[in-house]
C-alpha cells in the first residue's frame, strides 16, 4: 500500500530553515546531505511511522544543473516566498512500483528518474520543468531502492506527525486525483471557499506540544 514518505520545507538556506524549525518545533533538525544532480542539499528528521521531515535549499557551493531543479526552487515565486521565510511546500508519496503508478495515474506526475545520495538510492517521479504538482497539494512520488527506510537511521527528534491536512477550494477534484494514485487515505481534505488559496498543514507533536506547520 502506498504511504506517506515525507513532508518538504523549502528554505532560502539550510541555516534559515534550521532556525525557523528551531523556533516552531523547538528541536534541531540534523544535516542530511547533498543532491549533486539537483544542486540542492537538505536537513532531515524522523516523524514516526517511516516518515520524515525534509528541509531543502539550493546548495550555493554546487554547480547549477542543466535542467530545472525539483520543488520549483528555480521559480521567481518560490525564491521570493522562501527568502521571506521557509515554507511547507509539498509532500512525497512512497510507492513500491513507481513505474506502474506513473503509467496508471491518468495525469502527469513526472518521469521516474534514478537518484542517489551517499548510500541511499531511489527513483523519483520528476516533472521535466521542476514544477510542484497542483502547487504542491498533490505529492511527488518516490520508490526507495535502499533498505531500511532512511527515516530509521535518523536521530530521534521526539517529534511525531499526527495528521496532514490539505485545505482546498476544489476538494472533489483533488480527491479524485489522490484516489488515482492511491493516496487519498493519507491526508484530510478540508474545503475552502472559492476565493481562498489552497495550502498544506502538518500537525506535529513535539516535546513542547502540538504545532501546525503551514
Over residues 76-89, the pLDDT tens digits come to 999 999 999 999 99
The pLDDT tens digits for 173-185 are 999 999 999 999 9
* Mean pLDDT of the 95-121 span: 95
Cell of 119: 548510500
Predicted confidence (pLDDT) per residue in 128-166, tens digit = 999 999 999 999 999 999 999 999 999 999 999 999 999
Q: Structural domain boundaries of the chain?
A: 3-153, 160-213
CATH architecture for residues 3-153: Roll (3.10)
Provide, rounded to the nearest whole percent, the portion of the chain with pLDDT above 90: 96
Looking at residue 118, what is its pLDDT?
82
pLDDT at 126: 97
- Reported as a single tens digit per residue, the pLDDT across 196-205 is 999 999 999 9
Q: What is the pLDDT of residue 117?
A: 84
pTM here is: 0.97
pLDDT value of residue 15: 98
pLDDT of 23 strictly over 90: yes
pLDDT at 88: 98
**Confidence band, pLDDT 50/70/90 cuts, at residue 11:** very high
Q: Are 142 and 123 in contact (CB under 8 A)?
A: yes
Kindly report the number of other CB atoms within 10 A of residue 153's CB atom. 11
pLDDT at 119: 85
Mean pLDDT of 36-52: 97
Instruction: State the pLDDT at residue 95.
Output: 98
Q: With contact defined as beta carbons under 8 Å apart, do 16 and 9 qualify?
A: no
Residue 148 preceded by cis peptide, ω within 30 = yes
Amino acid at each position: 500500500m502506498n504511504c506517506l514518505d515525507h513532508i518538504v520545507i523549502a528554505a532560502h538556506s539550510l541555516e534559515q530553515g534550521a532556525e525557523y524549525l528551531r523556533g516552531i518545533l523547538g528541536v534541531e533538525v540534523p544535516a542530511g546531505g547533498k543532491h549533486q544532480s539537483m544542486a540542492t542539499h537538505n536537513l532531515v528528521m524522523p516523524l514516526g511511522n517511516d516518515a520524515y521531515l525534509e528541509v531543502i535549499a539550493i546548495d550555493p557551493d554546487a554547480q547549477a544543473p542543466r535542467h530545472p531543479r525539483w520543488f520549483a526552487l528555480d521559480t521567481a515565486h518560490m525564491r521570493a516566498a522562501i527568502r521571506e521565510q521557509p515554507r511547507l511546500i509539498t509532500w512525497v508519496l512512497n510507492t513500491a512500483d513507481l513505474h506502474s503508478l506513473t503509467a496508471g495515474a491518468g495525469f502527469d506526475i513526472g518521469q521516474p528518474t534514478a537518484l542517489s545520495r551517499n548510500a541511499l538510492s531511489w527513483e523519483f517521479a520528476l516533472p521535466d520543468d521542476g514544477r510542484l504538482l497542483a502547487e504542491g497539494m498533490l505529492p511527488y512520488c518516490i520508490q526507495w531502492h535502499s533498505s531500511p527506510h532512511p527515516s530509521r537511521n535518523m536521530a530521534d527528534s521526539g517529534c511525531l506527525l499526527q495528521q496532514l491536512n490539505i485545505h482546498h477550494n476544489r476538494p472533489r477534484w483533488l480527491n479524485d486525483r489522490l484516489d488515482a494514485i492511491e493516496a487519498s487515505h493519507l491526508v484530510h481534505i478540508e474545503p475552502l471557499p472559492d476565493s481562498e488559496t489552497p495550502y498544506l498543514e502538518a500537525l506535529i507533536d513535539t516535546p513542547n506540544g502540538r504545532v501546525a506547520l503551514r
